[in-house]
Amino acid sequence: MKRNTWQREAVRGALDANDGFVSAQALHSALHATGSPIGLATVYRALADLATTGDADSLQSPEGESLYRACSTNEHHHHLICRNCGLTIEIEPHAVEQWANDVAVANGFTQAEHIVDVFGLCAACSALTAASTL
C-alpha cells in the first residue's frame, strides 16, 4: 500500500512552490534551507514516484540533469522553457502530436513517443540580454 508521509508531501509542496523545472538536488537544498531534514535519497524516490504517477513532469536539461516540475494538467503536453530564468510555459500539443505520429507511421514505426521541448529566452530575459549586449 502507498503510505502518506510528510516527506512526500514536502516534496510535492516544494515542487508546487516552484514555477519552473528543478533538479532533485536543488529541491533537496531548498527543503533543507527551510529547515526540513529530509534525506536526498528520499527526494529522489519521491520525485520518481510523482513522475510515475503523472503528478510531475520530468525532462533532461541540456547538461544531462533530470529536472522535475508540477504541471497543471495530467495530460500529455510539452514545454517552452526560458533557459535563463527557468520560466516555463505549457504548450498546446495538437500540432506536434499529429506531426510526430504521422512521421512515425509514415516510416513504419509503432508505439511512438516523443521528446519535444523548446528552450529560449523569455521576453523579460531577452530584454536584459539585449541591454547587456549593447
Q: Are 10 and 31 in contact (CB under 8 A)?
A: yes
* C-beta of 123 vs 134, nearer to a copy of itself: 123
89 binds, among a copy of itself, DNA, none (CB under 5 to 8 A by kind): a copy of itself
Rule CB under 8 A: say whether 133 interacts with a copy of itself: no
| Cell matching residue 117 | 521541448
Question: Of residues 66, 86, 104, 125, which one binds DNA by CB under 7 A?
Answer: 66
Rule CB under 8 A: say whether 109 interacts with a copy of itself: yes
Q: How many binding residues for a copy of itself (CB under 8 A)?
A: 33
The residue among 59, 45, 62, 35 whose CA lies nearest residue 11 is: 45
| Cell matching residue 44 | 529522489
Rule CB under 7 A: say whether 46 interacts with DNA: yes
Rule CB under 8 A: say whether 80 interacts with a copy of itself: yes
- Sheet harboring 22-23: ordered strands across? 22-23, 66-69, 57-60
Rule CB under 8 A: say whether 41 interacts with a copy of itself: no
Rule CB under 8 A: say whether 85 interacts with a copy of itself: no
CA dist 75 to 27, 32, 56, 64, 71, Å? 24, 31, 11, 25, 9
Does residue 39 sit in helix, strand or coil? coil
Please, which of residues 47-66 interact with a copy of itself by CB under 8 A?
Answer: 60, 62, 64, 66
